[in-house]
Chains A and B, each alone.
Chain A
Amino acid sequence: MRHLARSIVFGFIAALLAVVPVTMAQDNDTIVIDFYWASAVEGNLPEIFAGYAETFEAQNPGVEINVVYTGSYTQTRDTILAEGDSPLVDVAIMLATDLYTFIDDSYIIPLDSFIEEIEDSEAWYDDFFPAFWLNSLDAEGRVWSVPFQRSTPIMFYNADLLAEEGIDVPTNNEELIAAAQALTTDERDGLQVPVAGTFPIWLFQSFASGYGAPLTSGDPTQVTFSGEATVQAVEFLTRLGMPVEEGGFGVGPMGGSAWGETPAAFLAGQAAMIYHTTGSLTNILENADFEVGVSFLPSGPAGEDGTGYAAPTGGGNLYMFDDGSKTEAELQAAWDWIMFLSSPEIQSDWGAATGYIAARSSAWEIAPLLSLTEEFPQYAVARDQLQFADEEFTAYRSVEIQNIINFELSNIISGSVPLSEAADVLANTQMQIDALLAETEQ
């Protein structure tokens, strides 16, 4: 027994010594691009990226892509920040909104000089959906990242239920309430908008813009979180879950539903309509045992013709890093890799594999995305809504301001703060935000 244990231990040590040296000696002429990727969807993503790298390396002899999974977006950001003064990373997928986190104290670089080199660079730029560029631009209009895996919220509806009740798909907020009230029963919510929890700001953006008061509009020193339109947007969102006796619409859970549980509730028939991300499309289409309909988020009262369609965008972009030590050839190789990942072929493939929205029009005209949209027109609805889409919230002191907005929004939506006081709370919060922004400008 003792000898057996001993040989097992020695066996392991021998195996350890045999397996451990995983770093291979590099050929000096080879350019190695360290590529960090983050993701928030399920799938065999390591294998997909390995495949992309292989294709790219075959097309670009002398360049090797070192594909590294760095965890969630937050973990990726922290990993890169932890590399400090001598970053290893060359190209990374980070949140589209990470620009102002990195612009001052890290090594991301603007991409304009590379974009100018592209043959017909204007056509290349315009091929991407304009909404997806918004988070890439700084105040001076420089481009800092290229859209890669993007998303936007859409409305999912249970088409069988709507047909049963003879209800048309709602296109604006009034129709939305009427439809949701007709669809609400004791066992079922008419509409679930997942704003419960710690991150209501994303979906709130569509309401704020729908009422004509977008939180931001391209200027990182300006955030709008008060005023009549904002108050109306907050009131509307809060009333969705408020019981009718208290002056609400009573069509969903008070305080909104939970992000993680909403698709499951929809699939189980516990919610007739939901707001959720395009990233859920694949999961919902695969698992629903009823006809799934997808539409634009119903419009708010903003806009000249009263059709204030609006939706934020989300997801990750490709960033490039240089601490000043890289050669031109290395930078060019990194840029080539970004061009490859954002090419129509890869965008089409990645979109079909993950459910993220392909970021450029031409990607939708080729396989596999083309056949997917033919089979499931729902994907095209999400794409078409992008013409109304807006940037995802970002500003100087982005994280702090987001936390403040999320906190105050949660308090109002959940009823901890009475709706009658909402206007005052928003005005106070605005002052707090303005003070933070003023500090940054100095």
Chain B
Amino acid sequence: MSRAITPHRRHIGLDPAPVGNRNRWSVFADAVTVVLALLWLFPLVMAVAMAFRPQRDPISVGSIFYGSELTLANFERAWNTAPWEWHFITSVLVVVGVLTVQLITITLAGYAFARMVFPGRNVLLFVILLQLMIPTGVLIVQNVQIMRDIGAFNTQWALMMPYWGSAFGVLLMRQTFREIPRDLEEAARIDGANVLQVIRHVYVPLSIPTYTAFSLVTISARWNELLWPLVVTRNPEEARPLTVGLNQLYSATEAGAQWGSLMSGTLMVIVPLVVLFIIFQRRFIESFASSGIR
């Protein structure tokens, strides 16, 4: 795979171009990259700085890096607002529970749309495409009703079920599978592989970068979701995800902006994702570059 992505590497700033070949465009591109990186970094830096400043200091006292002192008091306050350790377990369960099922459904559906011929295929694909265009917000009332009807309301199943199918994932896998040469499948068939074995041993291994990219998108979307968990789970508070706990800090506006506890709460919630990204950084970048997801 690594050969396939080499042409992209310079654009995303992984390898500096050989000095002799540098033209003004590559210098310009590097400059833009640096500026964009700083822009993206800015909120994170601010969050870290504010999380460790004493609550009584507004951001405007001194500069953000001096004229103040360091403190952990904000983390203590933020920690005391919610049962975070349980929220964390719930969030991890939900992400894993959604992703595991999604990977199975999008693989099977993606294969069906990419390689199988059956009546109504295009209509079905069109319907799935349509679903991409409906904002999830408008479905909330109906979805809550369904969860109540099937008895899943106020369980962690309700947090996961609506996401077990993924229109985006199905289309993504369809495109990926279509690019895999049919010859490979036919060779496997001749060796006696059935459909599932073909998918397992031919299509899946060749699509790992796409899976990685899709997983990252799903993980961060589910990790950051607030509205659905807030509406569909009720109690105990322990069975709700991190965003619900964080929401308490975000709605504490009565006494003015409590930047300190707000930002320390935010850091506690995003750290697992940031660590995950740093560990798998290289693989993620390669996946996004080769799968075309941005």
- Spell out A's residues near B (CB within 8 Å): 9, 12-13, 15-16, 19-23, 34, 38-46, 50, 66-73, 75, 79, 82-84, 86, 151, 259-265, 267-268, 270, 276-277, 279-280, 282-284, 287-289, 355
Q: Is B193 an interface residue (CB 8 A)?
A: no
Bound Cα distance A250, B247 (Å): 38
Tell whether, in the assembled complex, residue A16 and residue B58 are in contact, meaning their CB atoms are under 8 Å apart.
Answer: no
Tell whether, in the assembled complex, residue A283 and residue B234 are in contact, meaning their CB atoms are under 8 Å apart.
Answer: no
Q: Is B206 an interface residue (CB 8 A)?
A: no
Give per-residue flags for B154-169: 1 if the beta carbon is below 8 A from chain A beta carbons, else 0. 1111000000000000
Closest residue to B56 on the A side, CB-wise?
Answer: A287
Tell whether, in the assembled complex, residue A41 and residue B252 are in contact, meaning their CB atoms are under 8 Å apart.
Answer: yes
What are 17 A-B pairs at a CB distance below 8 A? Answer: A13-B96, A13-B97, A19-B93, A20-B155, A38-B251, A39-B248, A42-B81, A45-B248, A46-B248, A71-B244, A71-B251, A79-B231, A82-B231, A84-B145, A264-B57, A277-B254, A355-B254
Tell whether, in the assembled complex, residue A22 and residue B254 are in contact, meaning their CB atoms are under 8 Å apart.
Answer: no
Q: How far is the CB of B280 from chain A (nearest CB, A)?
A: 13
Tell whether, in the assembled complex, residue A259 and residue B237 are in contact, meaning their CB atoms are under 8 Å apart.
Answer: no
Tell whether, in the assembled complex, residue B100 and residue A9 are in contact, meaning their CB atoms are under 8 Å apart.
Answer: yes
Tell whether, in the assembled complex, residue A70 and residue B230 are in contact, meaning their CB atoms are under 8 Å apart.
Answer: yes
Q: Which residues of A contact B285 (CB under 8 A)?
A: none
Q: Which residues of A contact B236 (CB under 8 A)?
A: 22
9 shortest interchain CB distances as A-B pairs: A260-B257, A264-B58, A287-B56, A72-B251, A279-B254, A263-B256, A40-B254, A42-B252, A280-B255
Q: Is B239 an interface residue (CB 8 A)?
A: yes
- How many chain B residues touch A (Cβ–Cβ < 8 Å)? 50
Tell whether, in the assembled complex, residue B82 and residue A46 are in contact, meaning their CB atoms are under 8 Å apart.
Answer: yes
Q: Is B270 an interface residue (CB 8 A)?
A: no
Q: Which residues of B contact A259 (CB under 8 A)?
A: 253, 256
Tell whether, in the assembled complex, residue A287 and residue B55 are in contact, meaning their CB atoms are under 8 Å apart.
Answer: yes
Q: Which residues of B contact A276 (CB under 8 A)?
A: 256
Tell whether, in the assembled complex, residue A260 and residue B89 are in contact, meaning their CB atoms are under 8 Å apart.
Answer: no
Tell whether, in the assembled complex, residue A46 and residue B83 are in contact, meaning their CB atoms are under 8 Å apart.
Answer: yes
A270 with B58: in contact, given A22-B236, A41-B255, A42-B255 (CB under 8 Å)?
yes
Q: How far is the CB of A171 from chain B (nearest CB, A)?
A: 25
Q: How far is the CB of B223 from chain A (nearest CB, A)?
A: 15
Tell whether, in the assembled complex, residue B58 and residue A268 are in contact, meaning their CB atoms are under 8 Å apart.
Answer: yes
Closest residue to A78 on the B side, CB-wise?
Answer: B231
Q: Is B129 an interface residue (CB 8 A)?
A: no
A44 with B80: in contact, given A22-B155, A71-B230, A268-B56 (CB under 8 Å)?
yes
Q: Is B34 an interface residue (CB 8 A)?
A: no
A280 with B56: in contact, given A39-B248, A43-B81, A46-B82 (CB under 8 Å)?
no
Bound Cα distance A203, B177 (Å): 61
A22 with B256: in contact, given A39-B248, A46-B82, A69-B244 (CB under 8 Å)?
no
Q: Which residues of B contact A287 (CB under 8 A)?
A: 54-56
Q: Is B258 an interface residue (CB 8 A)?
A: yes
Bound Cα distance A20, B93 (Å): 9
Q: Which of B47-70 contact A (CB under 8 A)?
A: 54-61
Tell whether, in the assembled complex, residue B81 and residue A45 are in contact, meaning their CB atoms are under 8 Å apart.
Answer: yes
Q: Is B23 an interface residue (CB 8 A)?
A: no
Q: Is B5 an interface residue (CB 8 A)?
A: no
Q: Which residues of B contact A38 (CB under 8 A)?
A: 251
Tell whether, in the assembled complex, residue A264 and residue B257 are in contact, meaning their CB atoms are under 8 Å apart.
Answer: yes
Bound Cα distance A20, B244 (Å): 18
Tell whether, in the assembled complex, residue A82 and residue B140 are in contact, meaning their CB atoms are under 8 Å apart.
Answer: yes
Q: Which of B182-218 contact A (CB under 8 A)?
A: none
A262 with B255: in contact, given A68-B235, A69-B244, A70-B230 (CB under 8 Å)?
no
Q: Which residues of A contact B287 (CB under 8 A)?
A: none
Q: Is B178 an interface residue (CB 8 A)?
A: no
Q: Which of B243-271 contact A (CB under 8 A)?
A: 244, 247-259, 261
Bound Cα distance A265, B155 (Å): 44
Tell whether, in the assembled complex, residue A283 and residue B235 are in contact, meaning their CB atoms are under 8 Å apart.
Answer: no
